[in-house]
Structure 1
Amino acid sequence: MYRSRNLRFAGVFMIGLALVLAAAYISLTNGTFDIGIRDVVQTLLRIHPQPEHDLVIFEFRLPRIVIALLVGAGLGLAGAVIQSITRNGLADPGILGINSGAGAAMVIFLFFYQGQIRGDGWLSILAMPLFGLAGGLIAAMLIYMFSWKNGRLEPQRLLLTGIAIGSGLSAISLYLTLKMNPGDFEMAAVWNMGSIYNASWKYIISMLPWLLLLAPLIVWKSYMLDLFQLDEDSVISVGIASEKEKALLLLCSIGIVSACVSVSGGIGFVGLMAPHIARSLVGQTHRHMLPVCGIVGALMVMLADYIGRTAFAPSELPVGVVIALLGVPYFIFLLYRAKGRGIA
């Protein structure tokens, strides 16, 4: 049985990688300006490069593909951690208020520096992602502080506190957004809906270190996530410092979500859907489930970005809106299924 599970995981993982590569190929070659695969290969390998192909591939499409892949993988991974810690299959990274915290920080920045963040310099490009990252971490720390009770992190208290603080931060964002000038209002509105239309290599550099540092740590601690599915007393009885491990894994997921939200805005439902799909494919073991969560999340965001970019061209639909169109019915389905089992 153990070998069959490993073979199943290997098969799903390889198929997932093939689908991600196929999605990248479709996004790279199709759009308002179609490019053949031969031209793509020649451009990437610097064989007879042409300026128009360089512009489309290196400045527009490739950064979007990379950010979609990183953001989707990060949100999927973080969603699996949060659902495991809270023991709630309906939990989502956005429910902890990270999206709202990052969005509020960016809106505050835009409000006080209206019209002053344009340009191509490092400072102007990285200012918003860094503010979003700080806002997400501050919101998460507030939620964590209010969720601590009797020396323990209460999972249900964590969810309820996250909803309350997230709603308050969203209200602040909306109030400040309405007082902005038209240009910054449009930017803030699109960003809050979840969009990677403004992708650049500088945004990738700003978030990549967080994923490279925190994602391997989460995978290394995957056995802890398996133990958290037991009741609290059973976890403690085997000598595990439950609250310490929960805090570490939660902080890792917060860091990943904040980094993702800081460059893509509030993309919801990826962290909800990816873990459920991964469990149905490879089972409950987190050592297998976490990598598949990353692949499923990456594939979701990449396909959503392609659909949003091409379905209504020359207009563009934000990634968050495309995923929400699928995520809301899926959430209702999960809620109905949980109610049928007597869980909710």
Structure 2
Amino acid sequence: MNKRNKQRLMPWLLLIVVCVAVLFSINCGYLKIPYAEVLASLVNPYSPESSVVLLQIRLPRIVLAVLCGMGLALSGCTLQAVTENPLADPGILGINAGAGFSVMLFLSLFPSLHVRTMIYQPLFAMVGGLFVAVMLYGFSKRHGKVRPDYMLLGGICLSAGFFALMLIMGADMDNSSYQLVARWLAGNIWGSSWHQVKALIPYLLILIPMLFGMMNVLDLLLLGEEASLALGVRVERERRILLIIAVALAASCISVSGGIGFVGLVAPHMARRFVGARHRYLLPTSMLMGGLFLLLADTIGRSLFQSIEIPVGIMISVLAAPYFLYLLRKQT
């Protein structure tokens, strides 16, 4: 099989693998549901015989894991191209922490809005994430050029600072609120419902087509700033637009899933090994790889020990941290 056919075939193969992983995840847990009952519940969800466990507990969680994995992977892939840094990731650059801090402020100051509707929560997360992105952009720009090493170091510092602020805020909360915040910080999609899925989908439907429409710009940015300018690309303008899209994608996913890191780092690197660096193939492959990665991590976390459930953010860190060290080793 030649390279071009492999690039075209890989997203379809991954889509099939994601569907198989969804079927596998549906039947993982304390209660086993026969697949005949699964099919009957999906075909006629309003029948009295439909599975409440499947439709109201497991399926929303599975859908949310896939959607958040897709959004975080696309965000990481975009950030790596914009910053010219293969180690860029929404979590490492502090965007997740900034979005999380903004969500904590929202939960503390406007609890009634959170109860009535979740549409405001992603908006607050985007404000926090964009604030961090603006700070990083200004900090890492030297003599008119963005320095990738400065952006990485600044992101690590900002991430630590915002996590410290979140812990300080959490210490002043009552016990029930603090438990909620602690689970959110760990990256936990336990207890997800269709409410969170409906809150996330509108943002993805807007942001993902915008990003796919700029695939050629991402390819040109990989050539370097001077070559891109020579080809007529307004580099700074396109960078800002792509940075806003990447931050909005990460923040909207983080607002409903909690502090999940490393997906935006690992998924694009794994995708590049299969389809190369051209974003026409890299973006859809990274998107599906991220959805599959997060779904499998969540399934393992809730099935590994039946008595306890490991938050998906912790499982992702356990699985992806060694790979991050490997990438860091290659860069030095």
Question: What interval of TM-score do these two structures reach, taking the shorter chain for normalisation?
Answer: over 0.9
Partner of 1:102: 99
CA distance in 1, matches of 2:215, 2:121: 32
- Of 64, 82, 85, 1:85 maps to 82
How much has 1:217 moved relative to structure 2? 1.8
> Number of paired residues?
332
CA distance in 1, matches of 2:18, 2:109: 40
Q: Percent identity?
A: 37
CA distance in 1, matches of 2:123, 2:191: 15
Partner of 1:246: 239
Quickly say closer, same or farther: Cα 1:126–1:199, change in 2 above 3 A. Answer: farther
Instruction: Report whether the alignment pairs 1:30 with 2:23.
Output: no
Partner of 1:167: 160
* SS in structure 2 at match of 1:172: helix
Instruction: Report whether the alignment pairs 1:207 with 2:204.
Output: no
* SS in structure 1 at match of 2:32: coil
* SS in structure 1 at match of 2:284: helix
Partner of 1:66: 63
Unaligned runs of 5+ in 2: none
Partner of 2:51: 54
Instruction: Report whether the alignment pairs 1:277 with 2:270.
Output: yes
Normalising by the residue count of structure 1, what TM-score does the alignment of the two structures yield?
0.89
How much has 1:313 moved relative to structure 2? 2.0
Give the residue type in structure 1 aligned to 2:293.
M
How much has 1:142 moved relative to structure 2? 3.3
Quickly say closer, same or farther: Cα 1:281–1:180, change in 2 above 3 A. Answer: same
Preserved CA contact (<8 Å) 2:38 2:51: no
Give the residue type in structure 2 aligned to 1:46.
N
Measured against aligned partners, the alpha-carbon deviations of 1:312-331 in whole angstroms (never above 9, x if no partner) come to: 22321111100100111111
Instruction: Report whether the alignment pairs 1:177 with 2:170.
Output: yes
Measured against aligned partners, the alpha-carbon deviations of 1:77-129 in whole angstroms (never above 9, x if no partner) come to: 1111111112211111112221111211233344456xx5699x533x55644
How much has 1:138 moved relative to structure 2? 3.0
Quickly say closer, same or farther: Cα 1:70–1:48, change in 2 above 3 A. Answer: closer
How much has 1:58 moved relative to structure 2? 1.7
Preserved CA contact (<8 Å) 1:104 1:173: yes
Mean Cα displacement is larger for which, 292-301 or 40-49?
40-49
How much has 1:306 moved relative to structure 2? 0.7
How much has 1:276 moved relative to structure 2? 0.8
Superposed, 1:6-17 pairs within 5 Å as 6-17=4-15
Quickly say closer, same or farther: Cα 1:163–1:54, change in 2 above 3 A. Answer: same
* SS in structure 1 at match of 2:91: helix
Partner of 1:341: none
Mean Cα displacement is larger for which, 165-174 or 278-287?
165-174
CA distance in 2, matches of 1:184, 1:109: 13
CA distance in 1, matches of 2:292, 2:227: 36
* SS in structure 2 at match of 1:94: coil
Give the residue type in structure 1 aligned to 2:5.
L
Partner of 1:290: 283
Give the residue type in structure 1 aligned to 2:320.
G
Give the residue type in structure 2 aligned to 1:29.
N
* SS in structure 2 at match of 1:107: helix
- Of 95, 103, 116, 1:122 maps to 116
How much has 1:152 moved relative to structure 2? 4.7
How much has 1:302 moved relative to structure 2? 0.4
Instruction: Report whether the alignment pairs 1:255 with 2:252.
Output: no
